[in-house]
C-alpha cells in the first residue's frame, strides 16, 4: 500500500471524531434527556475509545456534574437544598455584613471573579451602591444585573443555565473562565470544614475551583451557620484560600485548621446602614 493510501485511511479513521469540550457538553445534554448513559454507546457515537469516554466521565464526576455508575454515568442526585430565592431571605443581616466587608477589599481598577450565591449578591449590591470602578467576571445573572448599570465593566460567563440558581455552569463556563487572570476572586460555599470549602449545588464546585486557580488573591465569603458542614463536592483545601470573610470567628478544630493553613480570618462589621430599597441601589 502506498503512503498516500495509508494517509487516506488514517484520515478516514479519524473522521467524525468529536472534540473533548463538545463531547462533555453532549454527555450533559444526554443526561437531561435520560437517566443513564453507557460508555460503549458514547464511544461509538463520538468515534473515540472507551478509555477516552471514561476520562470524560472522570472529569465531569470530579466537577460534580455527573455520578459514575457501572459501565456508564447518571445525573447526580442531591438532597433538598434551598434555592437561591430561599437563601436570599435567610440570615440577611449576617450576609449584608459579610458583603460589605468583602466589597471593602476591592480597589478601583481591579479585576475580580465573583461566583453565584446569596452572599456574593450582597457584595455586588455594595459595590453597586458605592459605584466602584472595576471589572467583574461572573457566572451569576443576579450579580451581573446588579452591577450592569454601574461604572463597573461586567462580563457574564456563557454555559448551561441553572434556573434555580440563576447561574451558568458546565464545560463552556469553565473554558471561558480559564482565559482570564484576575486580581482576586470572591466565592461562597454551602459547607466549610477543616478539609476546606464544599458545595451542594451541581456544577458549582468546578466553577469555584477555576476561579481560585485564575485569581492572585482568593477570598471565601461564608456565614458561620455553615461552619463544620461537609457537603457533596469538595472544592479545595484550606491553603487554596488567602482569607475567609465571615460574621463570627470559628472555634475549636476549625479555627486551628484555618490558622495552620495560614488563612486570614476577617470578621465582618455591622454595615453603617441597611439599604431600604434593595431593588434599586443608589451610588455613594
Q: Which of 53-57, 154-158, 277-281 has the least mean pLDDT?
A: 277-281
pLDDT band at 128 (very low <50, low <70, confident <90, very high): very high
**Predicted pLDDT of residue 274:** 45
Backbone dihedral angles phi then psi of residue 191, each to the nearest 5 degrees = -145, 155
Does 84-267 match 3-74 at the fold level? no
pLDDT band at 283 (very low <50, low <70, confident <90, very high): very low
Name the CATH code of domain 3-74 (choices 1.10.10.10, 2.40.50.100, 3.40.50.11540, 3.40.1440.10).
Answer: 1.10.10.10
Name the CATH code of domain 84-267 (choices 3.30.70.3420, 3.40.50.2300, 3.40.50.1360, 3.40.605.10).
Answer: 3.40.50.1360
| Alpha helices (H) in the chain, listed in sequence order | 3-14, 20-33, 39-46, 50-62, 84-88, 92-104, 118-130, 141-147, 171-177, 204-214, 252-260
Burial class (CB in 10 A: 0-12, 13-18, 19+), 74: middle
Q: Is the pTM of this model over 0.75?
A: no
More confident residue, 261 or 28: 261
Give the mean pLDDT of 42-49.
89
Is pLDDT above 60 for 207? yes
Could you tell me the three cell numbers for 240?
487554596
**Predicted pLDDT of residue 3:** 44
Q: What is the dihedral of CA 126, 132, 136, 138, to 10 degrees?
A: 10
Distance CA 94, CA 83 (A): 18
Q: List the chain domain ranges.
A: 3-74, 84-267
Distance CA 147, CA 141 (A): 10
Note whether 272 and 101 are within 8 A (CB): no
Is pLDDT above 50 for 278? no
Rounded to whole angstroms, what are the CA distances from 130 to 103, 106, 210?
9, 11, 28
* pLDDT digit string, tens, across residues 61-90: 777 777 777 778 877 655 555 667 666 666
Could you tell me the three cell numbers for 3?
503512503
Residue 198: Cβ within 10 Å count? 22
Specify the 3-state DSSP secondary structure of 224: helix
Q: What is the DSSP code (8-state) at residue 130?
A: H
Give the mean pLDDT of 251-272.
89
**Predicted pLDDT of residue 193:** 95
* pLDDT digit string, tens, across residues 165-180: 999 999 999 999 999 9
Give the mean pLDDT of 270-282.
45
Could you tell me the three cell numbers for 266?
476577617
Amino acid at each position: 500500500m502506498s503512503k498516500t493510501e495509508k494517509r487516506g485511511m488514517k484520515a478516514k479513521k479519524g473522521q467524525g471524531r468529536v472534540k473533548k469540550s463538545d463531547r462533555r457538553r453532549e454527555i450533559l445534554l444526554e443526561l437531561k434527556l435520560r437517566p443513564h448513559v453507557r460508555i460503549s454507546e458514547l464511544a461509538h457515537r463520538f468515534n473515540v475509545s472507551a478509555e477516552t469516554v471514561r476520562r470524560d466521565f472522570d472529569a465531569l464526576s470530579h466537577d460534580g456534574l455527573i455520578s459514575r455508575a457501572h459501565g456508564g454515568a447518571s445525573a447526580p442526585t442531591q438532597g433538598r437544598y434551598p434555592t437561591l430565592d430561599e437563601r436570599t431571605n435567610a440570615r440577611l443581616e449576617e450576609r449584608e455584613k459579610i458583603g460589605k466587608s468583602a466589597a471593602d477589599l476591592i480597589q478601583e481598577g481591579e479585576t475580580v471573579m465573583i461566583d453565584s450565591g446569596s452572599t456574593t449578591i450582597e457584595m455586588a449590591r455594595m459595590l453597586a451602591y458605592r459605584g466602584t470602578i472595576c471589572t467583574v467576571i461572573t457566572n451569576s445573572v443576579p450579580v451581573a444585573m446588579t452591577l450592569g448599570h454601574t461604572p463597573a465593566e461586567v462580563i457574564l460567563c456563557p454555559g448551561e443555565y441553572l434556573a434555580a440558581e440563576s447561574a451558568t455552569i458546565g464545560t463552556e463556563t469553565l473554558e471561558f473562565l480559564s482565559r482570564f487572570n484576575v486580581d482576586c476572586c470572591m466565592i461562597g460555599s454551602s459547607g466549610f470544614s477543616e478539609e476546606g470549602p464544599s458545595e451542594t449545588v451541581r456544577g458549582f464546585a468546578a466553577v469555584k475551583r477555576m476561579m481560585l486557580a485564575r485569581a492572585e488573591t482568593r477570598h471565601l465569603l461564608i456565614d458561620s451557620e455553615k461552619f463544620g458542614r461537609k457537603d457533596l463536592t469538595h472544592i479545595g483545601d484550606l491553603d487554596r484560600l488567602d482569607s475567609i470573610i465571615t460574621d463570627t470567628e470559628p472555634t475549636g478544630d476549625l479555627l486551628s485548621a484555618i490558622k495552620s493553613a495560614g488563612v486570614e480570618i476577617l470578621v465582618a462589621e455591622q454595615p453603617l446602614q441597611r439599604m431600604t430599597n434593595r431593588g434599586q441601589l443608589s451610588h455613594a
